[in-house]
């Protein structure tokens, strides 16, 4: 496998009073050792804090540390506990204190090495420490590589709602080493695949068909196939965030499955289901709503839901019910004047945003989740 870097650029047009901005996303296989020259070329300060978690520290953060040290940087590692339940303001405070004790000032950069939790939290630290310092994303999970590392959404959860504190803060660059997928568990791979299916469903019917055709082999990572999928998803995401960086409308399409999914995550303490599993359920429910509200053909809904079931999310815990999920959705950031708003599907490959279906349809869709394995996506 060659160690060349492919490059894609996220470019924001100039608006009144600001100049255009852009940053590169590099992808390649076995490229972690090449991060030093890229960081140097993009003027990342010499002093670097690598934020990682207890699982990734020994697997990959050490490689990034050595690669930077060998290139003349002064890196240091701060490790946080692994898992979505630690994506909190308490963990942010823990990192601020460590950075203060280490004498970090504005001449410091933060590099996130890990999955979505690490990237979101490290990005929030970078956005706020001393009012903002340079930030780099080195995503090591499929989910972070296809979605969360691109687009600048950073933040943490509150007990009652997901990502309720945060900022839009773009990285200086994103560095994706597909070799890191080799150590991912099946569960992590399936979670990432949920976001890939989302991209196909909302924006790219051809990608959806491709995934539907190879889903079984995809669950055993074939790096060439994964590289193509990752680059395709990053390009799709770039095209959305370039058009609406701060989610004033269009970017909401990326939230398909997330209104219900985030409610499930909050209700289960961010610890029972992974983000990918929660949005797998979220997409199944919102597919059902799309049939009733947007006229998504039943046959397409059935195909989509069946594909999502192939990801085999664990059953929903019996500590939560449909009524609780429905009420928890009102903490979603898309709610306006107390009305739920969703991103839904017109047809596979075409999404709508800002949709407010009849509450009756929404409740029915959530109720269906509790029998989905039994009913096998009948509509």
Rank residues 46 and 244 by Cβ distance to ligand GLY and give the closer one: 244
Secondary structure (3-state) at 349:
coil
CA 372 to CA 313: how far, in whole Å? 11
Apex 210 CA angle, 204 and 216, nearest 5 = 135
| DSSP class per residue in 51-74 | EEETTHIIIIIHHHHHHHHHTT-E
**Is 84 one of the binding residues for ligand GLY (CB under 6 A)?**
no
**Is 155 one of the binding residues for ligand GLY (CB under 6 A)?**
no
**Is 334 one of the binding residues for ligand GLY (CB under 6 A)?**
no
CA 304 to CA 81: how far, in whole Å? 35
Q: Is the torsion defined by CA of 166, 167, 171, 175 positive or negative?
A: positive
**Residues 275-314: x where in contact with ligand GLY by CB under 6 A, - otherwise, as a string:** ----------------------------------------
CA 168 to CA 333: how far, in whole Å? 14
User: Which residues are designated catalytic?
Assistant: 131, 153, 195, 237, 247, 251, 255, 258, 262, 275
**Is 245 one of the binding residues for ligand GLY (CB under 6 A)?**
no
Q: Residues in contact with ligand GLY, total (CB under 6 A)?
A: 6
**Is 254 one of the binding residues for ligand GLY (CB under 6 A)?**
yes
Q: Which two tokens stand for residue 339?
A: 């009305």
| Torsion of the alpha carbons at 277, 278, 279 and 280, rounded to the nearest 10 | 50
Q: Closest distance between ligand GLY and the C-beta of residue 152, in Å?
A: 8
Rank residues 148 and 268 by Cβ distance to ligand GLY and give the closer one: 148
CA 261 to CA 151: how far, in whole Å? 20
Q: Closest distance between ligand GLY and the C-beta of residue 48, in Å?
A: 25
Residue keyed to tokens 């030093």: 36
**Residues 196-235: x where in contact with ligand GLY by CB under 6 A, - otherwise, as a string:** ----------------------------------------
CA 207 to CA 148: how far, in whole Å? 19
**Residues 108-147: x where in contact with ligand GLY by CB under 6 A, - otherwise, as a string:** ---------------------------------------x
The residue ranges that bind ligand GLY (CB under 6 A) are 147-148, 151, 153, 251, 254
């Amino acid at each position: 496998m060659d160690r060349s870097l492919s490059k894609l650029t996220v470019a924001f047009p100039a608006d009144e009073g600001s100049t255009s901005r852009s940053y590169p996303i590099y992808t390649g296989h076995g490229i972690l050792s090449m991060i030093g020259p890229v960081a140097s070329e993009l003027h990342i300060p010499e002093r670097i804090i690598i934020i990682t978690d207890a699982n990734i520290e020994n697997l990959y953060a050490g490689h990034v540390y050595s690669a930077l040290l060998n290139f003349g940087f002064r890196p240091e590692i701060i490790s946080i506990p692994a898992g979505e339940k630690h994506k909190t303001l308490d963990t942010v405070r823990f990192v601020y204190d460590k950075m203060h004790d280490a004498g970090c000032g504005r001449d410091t950069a933060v590099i996130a090495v890990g999955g979505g939790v690490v990237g979101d939290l490290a990005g929030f630290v970078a956005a706020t420490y001393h009012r903002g310092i340079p930030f780099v994303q080195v995503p090591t999970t499929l989910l972070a590589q296809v979605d969360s590392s691109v687009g600048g959404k950073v933040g943490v959860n509150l007990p009652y709602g997901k990502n309720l504190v945060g900022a839009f803060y773009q990285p200086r660059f994103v560095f994706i080493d597909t070799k890191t997928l080799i150590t991912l568990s099946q569960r992590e791979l399936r979670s990432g695949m949920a976001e890939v299916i989302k991209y196909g469903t909302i924006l790219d019917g051809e990608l959806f068909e491709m995934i539907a055709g190879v889903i079984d082999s995809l669950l055993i990572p074939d790096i060439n196939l994964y590289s193509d999928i990752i680059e395709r998803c990053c390009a799709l995401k770039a095209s959305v965030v370039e058009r609406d960086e701060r989610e004033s409308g269009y970017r909401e399409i990326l939230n398909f499955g997330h209104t219900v999914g985030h409610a499930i995550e909050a209700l289960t303490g961010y610890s029972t289901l992974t983000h990918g599993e929660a949005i797998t359920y979220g997409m199944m429910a919102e597919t059902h709503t799309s049939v009733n509200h947007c006229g998504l053909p039943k046959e397409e809904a059935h195909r989509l839901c069946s594909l999502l079931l192939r990801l085999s999310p664990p059953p929903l815990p019996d500590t939560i019910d449909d009524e609780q999920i429905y009420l928890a959705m009102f903490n979603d950031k898309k709610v306006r004047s107390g009305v739920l708003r969703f991103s839904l599907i017109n047809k596979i490959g075409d999404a709508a945003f800002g949709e407010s279906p009849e509450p009756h349809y929404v409740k029915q869709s959530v109720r269906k989740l509790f029998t989905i394995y039994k009913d096998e996506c009948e509509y």
